[in-house]
Chain A
Amino acid sequence: MLEISNTVNGDVSEVKLVGRLDVKAAKNADQAFTQAVEASKNVVLDMSELDYIASAGLRALKRLRSDVSANGGTLVLRGVQSNVMELFEMTGFAVMFTFE
């Protein structure tokens, strides 16, 4: 189960993910990410309450990164939990993103 909320503040969309970004949820996340990119140039993804991600979720984040870059904006991943961060590092995806 994944809850996604999106707050637009000027030229920044802040998207908060709560729960599990599994292979099913990745499809909903794609839609929310597209809306965020259409709403603002820059995106901050609050992942502090995201407990789970696997490869389908990582691919959704890669697509978001590509869309934000194509828009000339920046993407920041905020508050990534340690279990989740380990997967970014293991797969080499960590170098694609800016974390804070």
Chain B
Amino acid sequence: MRSIIVPANDEDPTPVVEFVSEELEQYDYSSRALYQIEVAIEEILVNIVSYAGLTENDGIEIRCGVFEDPLRAVVQFIDGGIPFDPLAKEDPDTSLEANMEREGGLGIFMVKQLMDDVSYVYEDGKNVLTIQKNL
């Protein structure tokens, strides 16, 4: 898998979206799948910037690859911040009342809904979050 490093204090998803789009370029993917990957990228970056306790001197490593059977994009987010498993949290209540009261809390839920597989592991002092999306 190829990788890039983006600043850990910037939630702007654009550089990562561009990197992943380039990796997928030669494959036959649906625009819906790419859109959903883009949403997942934004939500995960916002989450890392908010919770990992990193500064502008730190980086988030993004790895991306495409695998077959089935054709799928795999994107990994690796950071050396505070150990934090975003998947441990219960899914939010999405009723009208709960949504009106709550500020935030939907991002990782959206990632779980949109991706075909999401996994988290803390290894070698790093948070590693992996998403997979069938193309």
Contact = CB atoms under 8 A, between A and B. Distances in A.
Contacts of A91: 94, 99, 106, 109-110
User: Which residue of B12, B39, B104, B107 has the most chain A CB atoms within 10 A of its CB atom?
Assistant: B39
The SS class assigned to the A binding surface is: helix
Contact of B110 (A24, A55, A62): A55
B25 interface: no
Majority DSSP secondary structure for residues of B touching A = helix
A92 interface: yes
Contacts, number: 61
Contact size range, A: 10 to 19
Contacts of B43: 54-55
B35 A52 contact: yes
Contacts of B88: none
A58 B106 contact: yes
Contact of B11 (A23, A62, A95, A96): A23
Interface in A81-96: 83, 87, 90-93, 95-96
B124 interface: no
Given A23-B12, A52-B38, A59 B103 contact: yes
Tell me which of A22, A62, A95, A96 has the highest count of chain B C-beta atoms within 10 A of its own C-beta.
A22
Interface of A: 22-24, 51-52, 54-56, 58-59, 62, 83, 87, 90-93, 95-96
